[in-house]
Amino acid sequence: MKDAGFSVETLISVLDNMDTLLMVADLETDELLYSNRKTNSIFGVDSDPVGLRCWEAYHKGSLGPCDACPLRELRQNPGTPVERETQGRDGRWFRTTSTVMEWSGGRPAHVMQGVDITQNKQYADALRLRLDQQELLNKLSQNFITSMDLKSFLDNALEMTGRQLKADHIAVTRIHRGETELFSSWYADPQYAREISVSPDVYDRTLRKAYMREKWPYVVCHDVERDEMFAFMRQTGFTSFVSVPLFIEFELWGALTFEMCGSPREWTNGEISFCRMVGNAVSVVLEREKIQRDVHEAEERYQIMLDSTPMACTMVDEDYNLVDCNEAAYLQFGLPSKQAYLDHFYDTLCPPYQADGQDTREKASQLIKEGFDCGNLVFEWRHYHADGTEIPTEVTLRRVKWRDGYRLAGYTRDLRRYKAQMKQIEETQEALRQAKERAEDSDRAKSAFLANMSHEIRTPMNAIIGMMEIAGHTEDIGRVRYCLDKIDDAARHLLGVINDILDMSKIEAGKFELSPSEFPLEKLLQQVSNVTNFRISQKRQEFIIKVGKDVPASLVTDQMRLAQVATNLLSNAVKFTPDDGKVGLYIHLLEDLGDECLLLFEVVDTGIGISEEQQKKLFRSFVQADGSISRRFGGTGLGLAICKSIVELMGGSIGVDSEPQKGSRFYFTIRAGKGSLAGTDSLSPDMDWDGVRILVVDDDREVREYFEEIAANVGIQCTTAPDGESAFALLERENPYSMLFVDWRMPGIDGVELTRKIRERYGENAIVIMISAVDWEGIQETAGSAGINDFLSKPLFSSTIIDCINKHLGKPQKVQDTPGKRNLDTGIFAGKCVLLAEDIEINREILTSLLEETGVDIVCAENGREAVECFAASPRRFAMVLMDIHMPEMDGYEATRRIRALGTPAAMNVPIVAMTANVFREDIARCLSAGMDDHVGKPVDMDELLNKMKRYI
């Protein structure tokens, strides 16, 4: 063993540094043959106990073996290990495993190994995983010693190494009598042997420079063409190589060189380490005749000890190579053999990257180096089982004395159960933390919301009260009318705030529902346009609505809620877009679903934009994206949260794309049924349209494209021009057009000036239609003096354009109501009588005054009892009953039931319409179940009330 460079002292050093109990005793006499420092320390033994019996050394004062002694069982069944749990004098607990093995000289021995399980004992209830940890034992082994002759070994080793490394040529060269000679060689392809002939002098230059003078541990060249140091290799046919020195008894013997003959090769650290390991193995083989017997004996003893360790153990040399493992190691990871474990440790048992993102091989090299430096290192490591399952482990590296150097013993512990328990605890803690944060955020948000609502409610109330005070102290009718206009604006704003709060209350209570019905899409868009047009006109903004030609003409969904979403988004776009900006509403068909369709609505503006941080808060309840913006532009901050709820109820989603100062794009999708109502956008059949040509002059490209689409759909010719100069040039070159659509505001020549030029050139023959986002009344006098024939307000709709063409060139298909104007139809209800049940005097007065022009006769009752008595006295007198719900003495539900209970034809058939501030779905349902025919919400919308009266009277 001395000649082999391996000594008993080395083995003893390895065993004494193990953090486990290890004791060997004669099986028959119980005489101690060996015990390591850990064992002596645990039992408080200061001197070497070898030669004493176990109980004499470790249980002083005892007259015989202790109760835990396994000798009797081992003698009866020497092939069966005996496990015990024992406690040392320092109070720590150990789990011991006793086995029988053959000691030197064929002597049977009792080998006891033990691992510290104190922590398992203490934390058994808290960390179950600690009970599963394996006992830590370390058995070291020595290098493989081949029985083959040197020539056979080299030939076989070079071939296996070459094929594994995919090298083209491997050469073993030696220095003999001062000269370098080729000792052994292997070629991957016989062609290389024929084509390449290398003089030993080439290797000699590397040997002498790198290993004799510079003392390099190895030489690597990735590309001889780029490495000037090895320019002399360029004529050999080799493109890259790795060379490692071969030593015998610390003297340079020669070199082992791995070469490539084809493309250059970028040698990896792992490949270089493997080459060095092969070089070391070759060096060992060169010495084997001298040390074979001693090394073989030491290897056998080491392997027995290593394989007896129940905990997975891997040995690593100072070149970072995995050189050995025990049976527990490869079985733990599902591999069939030690070799499979060593060969595939990194490519099979380790992922490419560790949990921190670092390359596995690089990190392993760093940790192994640190382990060699400090002697003891513990860390976590990601492993793979052979079946692909990921295994988190804890690895302990211990540096142990090995021959004339050191090795690392790596012990691996499976952490899966421990990690699962810790993850469960962490998830529970995180859930509690998030719940606490959500509760705190909700409280803060609702407090801020209430403060904002107080501001939003008090501001219009202050305006109403203030303007009433001003109006009451002036006799100037103009001043009074101004105050009334301001009161009207403030009241409508206050109503919007209340509606938002009510909608959000229904959403929070889970009672927000839809009421689907069929409606023409264009009619809904006209209503939405009417709401926003006034503000757009004030800010002189461009406004366009475009509907894809494949979008159904009518839809089945909740018309009011869809209009609410579109109006809210458009109102925001108008609000946050500066004067002279642009706002657009675009509708596309995303998917045809048979009886249903998936539609995309986009509201695009050129406004102030929204930061990424603000976008995260836009659709959250009780949270405003930016309090300063809300104060500057007004609003409750609830609109978008309500829109989100509506859209999601319609089977869609809502989102935003925006950048500060670059405008915004709000978009939402809905699933809607396809309606059966057909579109009425068609030309009059009594006109020959083949020769009809229209000219559209507008500086907005989208408006021009929209006209072209509409003209193509109905089959008439359409030419467009972006400005007045281009339009007039077209008129000069081409035949006269049947009709001209001219935008009012354009750069250069505006629409009015262009019309004057047309009239001067062509007289009254041309039909000129003014299109503008500004209300007609604002430009009527100027446009009329220039000779404008008609006016179309933006945004433009297909039906209004076609109807205008029919009106002036053919037969109109339908009559359009003037947008935004209420027609009370003076005297339409003359001779009709309505019973109004309302307990609030001011409400009775307002309704009576507003309906005065219709000619209807109104009889008032101050509560439900009076209403029943009044109707019972003259049932045929009343054409309709308007019934409030909350009234003293008798409410509207009971009054309705009693009227119906009268049983007369008039009582059974008279239309009873609820008129109440209760506008929730369940409130409407309750009215209908009480016997009412319909419902009108308060504050009363006169257009809605008049439509109901026209329907029932």
pLDDT in tens, 465-495: 767 777 787 788 877 887 787 777 667 667 7
Q: Which of the given ranges, 9-23, 88-102, 906-920, has the highest pLDDT on average?
A: 906-920
Question: Would you call the peptide bond into 795 cis, given omega within 30 degrees of 0 as the criterion?
Answer: yes
Which residue type sits at 551?
A: V
Q: Which helix (H) or strand (E) holds 658?
A: strand 654-658
pTM over 0.85: no
The percentage of the chain sitting over the pLDDT mark of 70, rounded to a whole number, equals 82
* CA dist., res. 342 & res. 136, Å (int): 21
The arithmetic mean of pLDDT across residues 685-700, rounded, is 81
> Which pLDDT score is estimated for 90?
64
User: Is residue 9 exposed (0-12), middle (13-18) or buried (19+ Cβ within 10 Å)?
Assistant: exposed
Length of the chain: 953
Quick one: which of 36, 84, 80, 89 has its CA closest to 59? Answer: 89
Query: In the prediction, which pLDDT does 627 show?
Result: 47
Inform me whether the pLDDT recorded for 680 exceeds 60.
no
Q: What are 37-87's pLDDT values in tens digits?
A: 888 887 788 888 888 888 788 777 777 887 778 888 888 888 889 888 877
CA distances (Å), origin 866, targets 138, 787, 836, 900, 905: 102, 61, 10, 15, 20
Smallest CA-to-CA distance from 194 within 237, 152, 258 is with: 237
What phi and psi values does residue 600 have, to the nearest 5 degrees? -115, 125
- Give the residue, 516 or 106, on which the prediction is more confident: 516
End-to-end CA distance of the chain: give it in Å, rounded. 120
Q: Residue 637: pLDDT band by 50, 70, 90 thresholds?
A: low
Confidence of residue 774 (pLDDT cuts 50, 70, 90): low
Average pLDDT over residues 529-553: 84
Q: In sequence order, what are the beta bridge partners of 483?
A: none
Confirm if 236 and 145 have CB atoms less than 8 A apart. Answer: no
CA nearest to 505, candidates 624, 650, 641, 625: 641
pLDDT at 452 over 70: no
Sheet architecture: strand order including 93-103: 32-35, 21-26, 107-116, 93-103, 82-87
So what's the pLDDT on residue 507? 67
pLDDT grade for 815, boundaries at 50, 70 and 90: very low
Taking only the tens place, the pLDDT of each residue in 217-263 is: 999 999 988 888 888 788 788 889 999 998 887 888 889 999 888 88
Residue 49, phi then psi, degrees to nearest 5: -85, 0
Distance CA 53, CA 870 (A): 120
What is the DSSP secondary-structure string of 302-338? Answer: HHHHHHT-SSEEEEE-TTS-EEEE-HHHHHHTT-SSH
CA dihedral 737, 738, 744, 749 (to 10 degrees): 20
For 818-837, the pLDDT digits (tens) are: 333 444 467 888 899 999 99
**Which residues are paired to 589 by β-bridges?**
599
934 confidence band (pLDDT: 50, 70, 90): very high
| DSSP category for residue 890 | S
Q: Which of 351, 298, 215, 431 is nearest to 9 (CA)?
A: 298
